[in-house]
Structure 1
């Protein structure tokens, strides 16, 4: 498999995962996602979860459907999104809020290291690196 094919598969996989995550924000994992919303966010926690879920569905769909001409821009938006929601992961760790099987400080701490992987994945799969 050549690098273009690998990037395409990686981009579509990332987009599909974002779509599933977004749907889960709106349905079965809605309450769990509220555990990640920092207390300083000026919106109701449920509203924040709904809006971020809609953003994930839109972003995931765009990653899946984007053409070659717009891939890099979409990748930068996805990387920025993953960076923007990182405070939620920090909040979950600092406030010791259990959700998604992250029920110990160690698990919540290790989760923090996955966010840079998502940023890299978004950039690499859209030819930004």
Structure 2
């Protein structure tokens, strides 16, 4: 008999907060922060910067809604969110390497410090989704 995974209140709060943050960021991609997100798109991306920002915004909204709202697929959505944060990390590197301002990141030191926050987001997604819980199917694959 398979036991139902247990999630702490902290995990549930983390998961919902991350989902809200992703939805807010996704809305920013589509509206008020479009130009600033374009500064993060690496030059080697073969799609127009604005199109890339719009598509990633839609992805963030959908991912945020999924991670906050889906209860049976928490581990999967946590892993997908962590993977998303890994996938957009080259944009953060490009912003640093190309000295592009955006979101108050107007010095190389600030842009460099931001690079260290991406693994925190990945861990947040894995924790909130329960992928790091002992006994979860993902736990043995991740650790």
Q: TM-score range by the shorter chain?
A: over 0.9
1:84 is aligned, of 83, 87, 91, to: 87
After TM superposition, the structure 1 = structure 2 runs for residues 1-129 of structure 1, keeping only pairs within 5 Å, are 4-67=8-71, 69-129=72-132
Matches of 1:57 and 1:70 in 2, distance apart?
Answer: 17
In structure 1, the gaps of 5 or more residues are: none
Aligned residues: 127
Secondary structure, aligned partner of 1:125: helix
Q: Deviations over 1:91-128 (max 9, x none)?
A: 00000000000000000000000000000000011111
Matches of 1:74 and 1:108 in 2, distance apart?
Answer: 28
Q: Deviations over 1:56-105 (max 9, x none)?
A: 000000011111x2100010000000000000000000000000000000
Matches of 1:39 and 1:27 in 2, distance apart?
Answer: 22
Under a length normalisation based on structure 1, what TM-score does the superposition of the two structures give? 0.96
Secondary structure, aligned partner of 1:85: helix
Under a length normalisation based on structure 2, what TM-score does the superposition of the two structures give? 0.87
In structure 2, the gaps of 5 or more residues are: 1-6, 133-143
Normalized per residue, which structure has more helix? 1
4+ aligned runs moved over 6 Å, structure 1: none
Q: CA deviation at 1:42?
A: 0.3
Secondary structure, aligned partner of 2:8: helix
